[in-house]
A and B are shown apart, each in its own frame.
Chain A
Amino acid sequence: MINRRELLRNSAFLAAIAALGIKPGDVLAADTDLLKVRMEADIQVLDPGYMIGGAETSIQYACLPRLAVPVKDAAGKWAWAPSDYVEKVNQDDDTHISFTLKPGFMWNGELGEVTAEDVKYSFERMLKTDWAARWPTLEKVEVKDKYNGVIVLKSPFAATFLMGIASESGSVVPKAAVEKLTDQKFTTELPGQCGPYMMVEWTPKQKIVVKANPDWKGAKPVFQEVHFINIEDTSAAELAFEAGEVAITNVLPSTAARYLKEMPKNAKLATQEGPYYTWIGMNTQHEKLKDIRVRKAIQRAIDVKSILDAAYGGTAPLAHGIVPLGVTGNRSVSTYTYNPDEARALLAEAGVSDLTVEFKTLNEAYRVTAAQIVQANLGDVGIKCEIIPLDSGPFWNLGLESKGEDWKNLQLWWMRYRTSPDPSDTIQWFIKSQVGVWNWERWSDPEYEELWTKGLAETDTAKREQLYIRMQEIMEDTGAYVWITHDPLNYAHSDKIVPGYDTGGEILIETFKTA
């Protein structure tokens, strides 16, 4: 969210660069003793059951065990692989996943070895937490012996690995320690650690220090000590990067565009596929948009390429659906393109003239920029568009029937959601039961509902791919969506390091290498 003051500050920053004619400097070279990385928000809750995200995810991966880790497959899609902690983890059938832990992985303190009991406790407790939705069909974990167990599902769920076991929700916690805590929850202090790194220091609002774990039996991390430096403002983080105080930070799209033209010395820009999907939505039940020809005219009237250039500095890819890049079900083509003539013809066919629509968006600079392009595009085909920027409070209530009557007058809006690397998570917000909740477009389709149910149980990747692509075709055919982008995460980093990321685009320090 950018406000007036931030806009002034960012403008001042750009003006300063222009006035001084500054070219990006030489960034700090990282050595293998100490790596400093930017942390956007301070940690709040490290407990996988109540976490928020960001650096918390990075700390969980670095300091807590898990059975599997996310990896990219040969096709560049997110898949999973057994972690360093296991001899094997295997999907025996649709509802049973067996695992065997490697012996010798010790919790710190007097907590002993990581056991199958810890896994059972960790996974089953998730069912009572805020993130239970990540484990929708988990029934129980059967412990066979100290190192062996079986995860039992009530029904097949294809995303059990990517949304559960191999994600931050699959972090294993020490049963003996967590059971002693009030409400069996923890926040900023890990009750036990076993990972390539140990979190040794946390200075609130300043930094977290993790050090390589000398007792770690898995692959040794390259960097011996990592400091997560808390810099909330991204423009400030960019300055810190250019001053050499952090070796990696995510950067704003405008900065990414600037770096693409001229990188700081000894720096690289990495564009990471993000977990986001952005689109322009239309309320199919609104009087002005009831006619599908009007919606399809709007689809064709908006020049998404111009939006990507102006609002994202040309660094974001064009989307053809909601399932992000790198996730099964990502579409590579749409059935419509920018075509103002076709839009005018559709409007004429619908007998619509003098149409005025409201376009609502969160009051963030890039979204308002995009809205202005939409306004100009719609103006070209004879639709008058009024932009209504909103703060997050009223915006997030717009389509919720439980929060008033705003949904009745909702027409067009700019929307961005975040997803796990499984299409079922991406697609779930558009089923019939979500109308009036998060399906603000307010449509439903029997085929879509049927495919939704099928998709949850289907475990064949190729079949799932087709199934979720078809669901997005159905969405597109409603005319209620103008696909915009899957917002990439742009990281500027020292060329002395090769960073690694998780499925949500968070950095995974234990996977970092030297270049």
Chain B
Amino acid sequence: MLVYAIQRIGLSILILITSMVMLFTALRMIPGDPATIMLGSRATAAMRARITEQLGLDDPVLVQLGTFFGRILQGNLGTDMWSQRPVSQMVLENLPYTLVLIGVGLGWAALIGIPLGCYSAIRRNSLIDRLTGVISVGTISIPSFVVAIYMILLFAIILGWLPVIGAGDVGDRGDQALHLIMPGFALGLGWVGYLSRIVRASMLEVMGDNHIRTARAFGLPEFRIIKSYALRIAILPTITLLAVAIGGLLSSAVFVEAIFARPGIGKLIVDAANMRNFPVVQGGVLTTVALFALTMPVADLLVAWLDPRVRATL
């Protein structure tokens, strides 16, 4: 188990380094002079020179890369091109909002999707199963930003029930919770269908296993069979899926963040990319990649810990 853990963490570090080199290269391959793009048509020579110097764009690319990694190893993500604020501070300000949003979105999706999947599997081919199937596919196919827009139109503009903009007043938990309802719902809706389909398929597979048949032969109550013997096994693929979901939502949350004008790591990166603010883009992406790279081994280790069959193969 320890060797496995070390292997997984090592792989994550490798992913992190590769991603950063790729990002660094990609940013510098964007056509155009970053200083001119950042400043637009009215850039004066003095402005361009200052930005070029500040970004170290005159240095050889390898020197820039070395400087970049050197800083990261010292825990320094650099400073914002314009405001001169530490990127790490900006990331720390924005990251919690995204994590909470993802938590709420995935949380409610799991709360609804997993029982729905179980029910569909138990009542296979029933009307509810078929209806759930149609709704699941529907929710999977609707982009979160479309859901967000319809929700705003309905609940904010027509009914006026929910706030539409921002993350709520700092320190006011109630206000912040209110501001999470629509974004969280919009972000999680697609995953309700996805989770229910995965759990249903997994449950159907497990329900056909010998140990379930044996449990039934012993006359155990159906609820206990499902809860203690079927769902415990069927839920395992869902754990891996949720880890993947966190990675996916780190990027897709940006649409919801933009529409609801919520702060967040995705929005921070996109806004910075639009302004070619390289240090913020690099710092933000490094953080999200690190999070994703951390989530995957945690999920793998969790599955190994929960499932003796997986443990036995290590």
Residues of chain A at the chain B interface (Cβ within 8 Å): 1, 5, 8-9, 12-13, 16-17, 20, 22, 25, 41, 43-45, 52, 130, 132-133, 187-188, 203-207, 229-233, 235-237, 239-240, 242-246, 391-397, 400, 403, 417-418, 429, 438
Contact = CB atoms under 8 A, between A and B. Distances in A.
A236 B258 contact: yes
Given A133-B44, A206-B166, A239 B157 contact: yes
Contacts of A243: 152, 156-157, 160, 163-165
Interface of B: 30-33, 36-37, 40-42, 44, 46-47, 50, 80, 82-85, 90, 93-94, 143, 145-146, 149-150, 152-154, 156-158, 160, 163-167, 170, 255, 258-261, 263, 267-268, 271, 274
A5 B260 contact: no
Given A130-B50, A236-B165, A242-B157, A205 B82 contact: no
Q: Report the 7 A-B pairs with minimum CB-CB distance, sorted nearest first.
A: A393-B32, A44-B82, A205-B263, A243-B156, A231-B261, A393-B31, A394-B31
Contact of A236 (B82, B170, B261): B261
Contact of A244 (B40, B149, B160): B160
A394 B30 CA distance: 9
A187 B84 contact: yes
Contact of B166 (A17, A20, A207, A403): A207
Nearest to A39: B261
A393 B146 contact: no
A1 B276 CA distance: 13
Contact of B145 (A12, A43, A229, A391): A12
B255 A403 contact: no
A438 B44 CA distance: 11
B308 to A, nearest CB: 44
18 contacts: A12-B149, A22-B158, A45-B82, A52-B82, A133-B44, A206-B263, A207-B166, A229-B165, A230-B261, A236-B259, A236-B260, A237-B261, A239-B149, A243-B156, A392-B32, A392-B37, A395-B32, A429-B41
B153 A396 contact: no
A410 to B, nearest CB: 15
B157 A25 contact: yes
Contacts of B157: 22, 25, 239, 242-243
B80 to A, nearest CB: 7
Contacts, number: 143
Contact of B41 (A20, A132, A403, A417): A417
Main SS of chain A's interface residues? mixed
Contact of A20 (B83, B153, B163, B170): B153
A43 B80 CA distance: 12
A207 B167 CA distance: 10
Contact of B31 (A41, A204, A207, A391): A391
Contacts of A246: 165
A427 B47 CA distance: 20
Contact of A16 (B146, B167, B255): B146
A12 B146 CA distance: 6
A409 to B, nearest CB: 15
Given A22-B157, A230-B261, A396 B37 contact: yes
Contacts of B259: 9, 233, 235-236, 239
Contacts of B83: 43-45, 187-188
Pick the most buried of B46, B153, B165, B268: most chain A CB atoms within 10 A of its CB. Answer: B165
B31 A397 contact: yes
A232 B166 CA distance: 11
Contacts of A232: 258, 261, 267, 271
Given A231-B261, A232-B258, A438 B37 contact: no
Contact of A130 (B32, B46, B260): B46
Contacts of A8: 143, 145
